[in-house]
Structure 1
Amino acid sequence: MTTFLDLCRSAIGADYVVTDDADMASYLIDWRRRFSGNALAVVKPANTEEVAAIVRLCNQFRVPVVPQGGNTGLVLGSVPDDSGTAIVMSLVRLNRIRAIDTVNNTMTAEAGCILENIQNAAAEAARLFPLSLAAEGSCTIGGNLATNAGGTGVLRYGNARELCLGLEVVTPQGEIWSSLRGLRKDNTGYDLRDLFIGAEGTLGIITAAVLKLFPQPKAQLTALAAMQTPEDALRLLTMTQNHCGAGLTGFELMSDFCLQLVSKHYPQMRPPFAQDHAQYVLLELSDNESEEHAVALLEAFIGDALEAGIIQDAIVAASIAQSKALWNLREHIPLAQAEEGKNIKHDISVPISSIGQFIQSTDVQLQQQFPGCRMVTFGHLGDGNLHYNVSPPAGDSADAFIAQQAAVNRVVHDSANRYGGSISAEHGVGALKRKEIRDYKSAVEMALMQSIKQAIDPLNLMNPGKVV
């Protein structure tokens, strides 16, 4: 492979073809540090033309390509296998915001742009880019689109797919396809944009995108409500939507055990109530009229929910600092889980109306098969996406419990499927769930996916071993 690597160095510069084991290490290990692969090299092109040049060389020498953004994924989608035959293509140098159009309400950004930087650039232009997730300080928009990321704003704004109007993609043959026109209507054939979004780099490499922007809301209010059951949370969701309509932008469910973990490992963070409650909902209301209007709406439906017995208590953030404190409770749940020790993560979705039944029945099944296991249940109730994670019984060996992961997964995923759900809502499939999805997708669906992969990437060089 010396000739291949030399040609790569000629194409993008020797400094950007990394082969030293120590220098490559951070690109080869997954975010949870559970798996480490090997690679021929890590290459770091600076622009779309350099990406295309490297892909053409990979075609010539039959070298697989693993595209990588911020490497924050949870399903082994952005790391190579252990064969050492692939290159990792890091897109972090493609980090320019090419244009912002405040009349068209669009931003054109390269794939390596950090999500938080995109949010900030939109804010500087008095606009909102609403995609928001815990890894926004390090994940990239290319990875967000490749996995069709969700986050906390899906209820109002949709997944990453709904926030993208056009793409620039390097195909498996090293050609450049661009639809960076910012059109909201273009009914001229197959929607190739939607084909590449969510494909996890298996059909081509996203190098840039046109993103939707929105007017900055006049007010954003945050409230934390306490209740007894997930069914109460669903009743609150319906009531809030009836009161606020599209103004409801976030609706996050958190169990008491989730916040117990946060308080245990981050003692400065505690729910602001005098007593504990079984379930909590963190909700966010955005208003384009005024703060006074937003406050009146919020106070009205909280009052109605208290009177109806749907919720037992509630607090409305009176400042930005209080709002951040409430969101910190939600965002520190995964961090607290990591501090608690190894656990088995799930990213499932079911129809919103079935969430209460799913939680109740799945909790029972897991306790029957794995007595004492602890469910860490939280997520985006407003769009039906739960992070239904399972920790070992207190005091038990984490490694022994993790050894039963396949059996735990089977209970959770069978239950999600029984309720008409999905085993991957926003994290993707990657290598982690590649075999498992065959248990839940029809033969027709799998055959169609494999046909698309074969037609677009016949040499199977684009992120092989992932998704299909």
Structure 2
Amino acid sequence: MTTLSAPPTAPEADGRDHTALLASLREAIGAAHVVTEAQDMAARLVEDRGLRQGTALALLRPGSTEEVATCLRLCKAAKMPVTPQGGNTGLAGGGVPDGGIILTTDRLNRIRQVDPTNATITVEAGCILANIQAAADAVDALFPLSLASEGSCQIGGNLSTNAGGTAVLRYGNARDLVLGIEAVLPDGRVLNDLNGLRKNNTGFDLKNLFIGAEGTLGIITTAVLKLFPKPSARATALVACTGPDPALALYARMRSQTADTLSTFEYVERLGLEMVIDHTPGCSDPMSEAHPAYCLIELTGNGAQADLDTRLEGALEVAFEADQIVDAVIGASEAQKDALWALRENLSEAQKHEGASIKHDVSVPVSRVADFIKVATQACMDHMPGLRPCPFGHFGDGNLHFNLTRPVDMADADFLAEYGAFNRIVHDIVHEMGGSFSAEHGIGTFKRAELRRYKDPVALELMAQIKATLDPDDLMNPGKVL
């Protein structure tokens, strides 16, 4: 695979002897939790898709906030860069170290408190997202953040990238699900802002400095998260339409007719569905004919199941009459609903079997989603005949994964060499439409140049000033974001 950034710097390149630092770290958190053998760190040095390879002097596994603070104090004194890392499932290169030390939150994995009455759950940064969902479920509540990687991603990484997922339409991004945090600053001081308050007007909302900062300002170690009533019923449908314009009209109709029960509206074009059917065991086409595009729609609520089914069926009947959809399959059982979801959830993995892809995580105003798909698809195909565009994603919140699969007869390396050209085509269109080139995956190293190209200059200046204030030595995840 080609790399998308400059080669990493080896930890020994500064010519310093790190023996004393490593000895101090071993004393602080235990020798077993200071890993220096190359083979034991190998999996931590590679970006999830293999697009970037890093290097590191050591991997630290602190087991408490106090140990994280001690590690950062020692590293600051030694001027040793630190790359925070959770489940290493990021898609922008933000967790790949350029030398220095990796600090993983693996051992910070306790669920400290579940408070059903206050509708909060307090969790440490290393908690696996699926485990948090299960803990909420155990008290008949819902933690709605849901991602394809939820079985391995950690909540600290989710917050550091302000993760999105399939439930943003109803519940918001990761940022919207946080009430308070505990974070360790680059100098080892601990910010204790662990509150479960819905109203707290006491100055600057400091938690939002760290949410979405990708570990460049410090390390989130604990968070107080919102819980919601657990839906007791859901109605799920896969509908077929002729393209993005009727899909957008259908979304507007569903939003109007189903109100706050609409929790999912996902868009997939035919190529994406075919990839899942071809490469995912157990997945099959639920419709008798192929169609240009599909929408996965789900309503959830706490009323009777029949009420949700009736609302969904009623909205789809009107959509048929308005020529917004041409076919529909409604899940009649939980198994059938799960099968419809599998057609969306397995798309990212299935796409890997079709060769190299150039991926874009973009957002535009919902009213421009259909225009973007049409304009960007045509522009990219004009640039490369035979290209296989595969747009899909969270139609209801304007976030699309505009992925481009290589032409069938083209080598992966030759296709990936066009990454920069396609970025310029796609991101310029996004910018012209008032959108963002990074909707939910973050900046990392892959998109630093895009940030400089598209971000407001004053915003960039303020970001740099905040970074310089909290991390004047540029030791926290250096080279990422800014």
| TM tier relative to shorter chain | over 0.9
- Establish whether residue 126 from structure 1 lines up as the match of residue 143 from structure 2: no
Deviations along 1:54-100, one digit per CA (max 9) or x if unpaired, are 0000111001110000000010001102xx3x100010100000000
* 1:237 and 1:382 in contact (8 A); partners too: yes
**Equivalent runs, 1:420-431 vs 2, <5 Å:** 420-431=434-445
Give the counterpart of 1:37 among 49, 54, 60. 54
Residue range with higher mean Cα deviation, 11-20 or 266-275: 266-275
Which residue of structure 2 lines up, in the alignment, with residue 62 of structure 1?
79
How far apart in 2 are the matches of 1:290 and 1:41?
A: 55
**Equivalent runs, 1:393-412 vs 2, <5 Å:** 393-412=407-426
Deviations along 1:423-462, one digit per CA (max 9) or x if unpaired, are 0000000011012211101221111111111111111111
Give the counterpart of 2:387 among 362, 373, 377. 373
How far apart in 2 are the matches of 1:323 and 1:134?
A: 17
Amino acid at match of 1:51: V
By how many angstroms is 1:267 displaced?
Answer: 5.7
Which residue of structure 2 lines up, in the alignment, with residue 151 of structure 1?
165
How far apart in 1 are the matches of 2:450 and 2:308?
A: 45
How far apart in 2 are the matches of 1:462 and 1:155?
A: 33
Which residue of structure 2 lines up, in the alignment, with residue 190 of structure 1?
204
Which residue of structure 2 lines up, in the alignment, with residue 137 of structure 1?
151
Which residue of structure 2 lines up, in the alignment, with residue 441 of structure 1?
455
How far apart in 2 are the matches of 1:366 and 1:302?
A: 33
- Structure 2 SS opposite 1:167: strand
**Equivalent runs, 1:179-328 vs 2, <5 Å:** 179-266=193-280, 268-328=282-342
- Structure 2 SS opposite 1:435: helix
Which residue of structure 2 lines up, in the alignment, with residue 361 of structure 1?
375
How far apart in 2 are the matches of 1:97 and 1:255?
A: 39
Which residue of structure 2 lines up, in the alignment, with residue 96 of structure 1?
110
- Structure 1 SS opposite 2:358: coil
By how many angstroms is 1:266 displaced?
Answer: 2.5
**Equivalent runs, 1:335-346 vs 2, <5 Å:** 335-346=349-360
Which residue of structure 1 lines up, in the alignment, with residue 465 of structure 2?
451
By how many angstroms is 1:331 displaced?
Answer: 1.1
- Establish whether residue 170 from structure 1 lines up as the match of residue 184 from structure 2: yes
Amino acid at match of 1:130: P
* 1:259 and 1:270 in contact (8 A); partners too: no
Which residue of structure 1 lines up, in the alignment, with residue 31 of structure 2?
14
Q: Identity of counterpart residues, as a percentage?
A: 51
- Establish whether residue 417 from structure 1 lines up as the match of residue 434 from structure 2: no
- Establish whether residue 25 from structure 1 lines up as the match of residue 42 from structure 2: yes
Deviations along 1:152-193, one digit per CA (max 9) or x if unpaired, are 000000000000000000011101111111011111111101
Which residue of structure 2 lines up, in the alignment, with residue 72 of structure 1?
89
Which residue of structure 1 lines up, in the alignment, with residue 346 of structure 2?
332
- Ranges in structure 1 where 5+ consecutive residues have no aligned partner: none
How far apart in 2 are the matches of 1:415 and 1:15?
A: 50
Amino acid at match of 2:244: P
How far apart in 1 are the matches of 2:453 and 2:265?
A: 31
By how many angstroms is 1:2 displaced?
Answer: 0.4
Cα root mean square deviation, aligned: 0.8
Residue range with higher mean Cα deviation, 431-440 or 131-140: 431-440
How far apart in 1 are the matches of 2:332 and 2:27?
A: 58
How far apart in 2 are the matches of 1:220 and 1:62?
A: 53
How far apart in 2 are the matches of 1:238 and 1:25?
A: 47
- Ranges in structure 2 where 5+ consecutive residues have no aligned partner: 1-17
Deviations along 1:195-214, one digit per CA (max 9) or x if unpaired, are 11000000010000000001
* 1:43 and 1:90 in contact (8 A); partners too: yes
Q: Which runs of 4+ in 1 moved over 2 A?
A: none
Amino acid at match of 2:291: H
How far apart in 2 are the matches of 1:160 and 1:39?
A: 29
How far apart in 2 are the matches of 1:291 and 1:142?
A: 35
* 1:287 and 1:293 in contact (8 A); partners too: no
How far apart in 1 are the matches of 2:200 and 2:280?
A: 50
Which residue of structure 2 lines up, in the alignment, with residue 385 of structure 1?
399
How far apart in 2 are the matches of 1:271 and 1:74?
A: 29
How far apart in 1 are the matches of 2:400 and 2:378?
A: 17
